[in-house]
Structure 1
């Protein structure tokens, strides 16, 4: 398997330097200073998980400034540049029930249920970048958006990875990706490698066949942790009266190494087993007509463990599947269905206002005591983004999840019945 992965990486690197089939990104570079960009995102965040059945609640409130400063590429055949990413935050209030991956906590509990939260904290790193034609390499601290290695960006500050990522678009419609990462810093961690990542190699490809059809494949090999593969196909069918119907298929196959964490593994399989695997896939159909969108989705998990992500420094958001809100409906053997409704208020004279509501029901979850545990979630979110003026692009997002499950699932593997609120106010400021 290692030889196969090295061959794939070699192919990607060679492909990155083939002659271009369309305009070169590097040839359009204006310069190191001329293309420089700087921004800061001021975020006020609140997450409240009201847990039932006697479990301790989690409640966190904080303020952050997330900064990215990045030069352009120098002119010439090979363009180079530099940049930094980072964040600085402070808690608001006591946060005695901190958690939810929002605020770093000291090792000593100090009489608080989840550890004493930091009053203030700062993190960040630098990166170098180079570009030839339409191929870009970035080395250093990064926020990743890959289906098999995705940074958690849904908390106060993003999850960071350190390593090398190469992205190539030398052939029109085809995007190739390859990378290697050696550090992982979760959203609520101070140390740059608190997740103890040894080495994660990623590779993948996305191809746009035409305006209607797209497909992608990504792979991940994390040393002594797991191997993961992801596939996706998406087709948008145009209908009469400016309506459309979008079909989507996505799925993961994961195999865990000995000693790696694997949520909801079959009871007879301990961490030393080398026979733990999972397949999870989903199909969905979305009908859009004007301001309205309705999605139906079916998702199914098979194997001797559930689909687990984030536990092995494999990205706290690495679940590109439709039935993922507060719960991911990814238990061992679980089947789930979803109906979602989305309303864009722009058609009613309020551009920037959007409402999403969804109901997801899961069943046939294997636990230590039953093979038919159930869970369900009612999700609602309202988001407003300012469209113009001095506060343009500022946004307020309010979401609520009403989550319930069987005691057998909560006790053996998962969280208890929970009511969750998330409120995020984002104010982006462009520096230059």
Structure 2
């Protein structure tokens, strides 16, 4: 019922936008872009008796998006419309599934897939309502741009910045399209089935900058008949002198089943702390995360990401009882006269995993990226990620991802 009302509101808002397209701002402030993404992934399994020795694919993606400006009216209206599409260049049944391309019933990857998207926008003063396609980056729901086509949601999100230093956010998401899916699905938990779907995710939160160096965020979320969740985050930057700055991130989740508990018990509390010491082009980081409670940290179907977890990564480090830590180093080559070139190296380790037996897992990650800063190829990006994973008695693999990206700005 709630979703139906929002869809009716979307249709009405689109109609208003169409009636107002001649007004100043709607067209003049619009943008049409085409994002190009060439993506290669290869995972080489090292453990004994692996189901497959390798998985992976090579694909080309296109993301065409029109984003309007706003009508010149007291209550302003806008419209975003787009479509994305990916085509498989290489990779077959013998190397599927790879976490990128959707899989057909015979186990082979699709030759191509894509989605269309539309969102109506309504703005008054510094408050905006967006109904339709959503790519949120919130503690309670996030999209995933790390594969070929990005995870996205459908719903309604209201954001207000009327009060200085305060951002208020509220909304409802009722469907998800995963990074390796061509279909919208209701929301349910990773590892469950569509029969355990929720009617939607309701959420509200606030972020406030207490000072230029201290900010705080609180969110509450309810995945109807599955869980309710509280999130609290604090971030602080401390100048130490001589060009050194220490950033501290503290994050906490508390998640418990609610309503009909379609996923059964959900009992998880997560604490995370990250310290990052920066001087010039160098950043040194160290983080710690603890899973409390009887269950894994819940994530949405299609393994939608939870990047607000301190130790979120390929493994996630989200298992019951897990204590995980990381050390990290970032370098910006602008300090050597090479702006746009960056490198990150990270080691992560998880212990005390309680899955009926104590377990242990490690992950090392290295990311080298470059974006052309000027000239006819300005904006062309290249990203190489190397990941090594070792989960005791379960999985061991080496993964390489290579992405070439470029955005064509038509206007």
Asked whether the two chains share a fold, i.e. TM above 0.5, the reply is yes
Query: Across the two proteins, how many residue pairs are aligned to each other?
Result: 375
Match of 1:168 among 136, 156, 160: 160
Which structure's residues are more often strand, by fraction?
2
Matches of 1:65 and 1:353 in 2, distance apart?
A: 24
* Candidates 295, 298, 301, aligned match of 1:308: 298
Q: Which residue, out of 84, 88, 92, partners 1:91?
A: 88
Q: Deviations over 1:352-397 (max 9, x none)?
A: 11110111111111012x2x31111111111111111122122111
1:30 to 1:230, Cα distance in 2 relative to 1, 3 A: farther
Relative to structure 1, is the Cα distance of residues 225 and 58 closer, same or farther in structure 2, using a 3 angstrom cutoff?
A: farther
**1:373 equivalenced with 2:365 (yes/no):** no
- Provide structure 1 residue ranges, at least 5 long, that are not aligned to the other structure: 1-28, 110-114, 262-270, 411-415
* Structure 2 contact 227–261 (Cα < 8 Å) conserved: no
User: What corresponds to 1:31 in structure 2?
Assistant: 25
8 Å contact kept, 2:186–2:199 = no
Q: How does 1:106-185 map to 2 (within 5 A)?
A: 106-107=104-105, 109=106, 115-185=107-177
Partner of 1:10: none
Q: 1:404-431: CA deviations, max 9, x gaps?
A: 1211xx3xxxxx1121111111111112
Match in the other structure for 2:342: 354
405, 417, 420: which one aligns with 2:391: 405
| 1:33-432 matched pairs, under 5 angstroms | 33-51=27-45, 52-53=47-48, 54-56=50-52, 57-96=54-93, 97-107=95-105, 109=106, 115-193=107-185, 196=197, 198-257=199-258, 260-261=262-263, 271=264, 275-311=265-301, 316-368=304-356, 370=357, 372-407=358-393, 410=394, 416-432=395-411
1:197 deviation in Å?
Answer: 5.0
Aligned-partner Cα distance in 1 for 2:198–2:176:
6
Q: Provide TM-score, normalisation by structure 2.
A: 0.87
Question: 1:85: Cα distance to partner?
Answer: 2.9
Tell whether the 8 Å contact from 1:124 to 1:141 is kept in structure 2 after alignment: no
CA distance in 2: counterparts of 1:86 and 1:341, whole angstroms: 37
Report the Cα offset of residue 260 of structure 1.
4.2
Q: Gaps (5+ residues) in structure 2?
A: 1-22, 188-196
RMSD across aligned positions (CA): 1.8
Q: What SS does the corresponding residue of 1:73 show, helix, strand or coil?
A: coil
TM-score computed with the length of structure 1 as normaliser: 0.83
What is the deviation of 1:308?
2.5
In 1, are the aligned partners of 2:174 and 2:186 still within 8 Å (CA)?
no
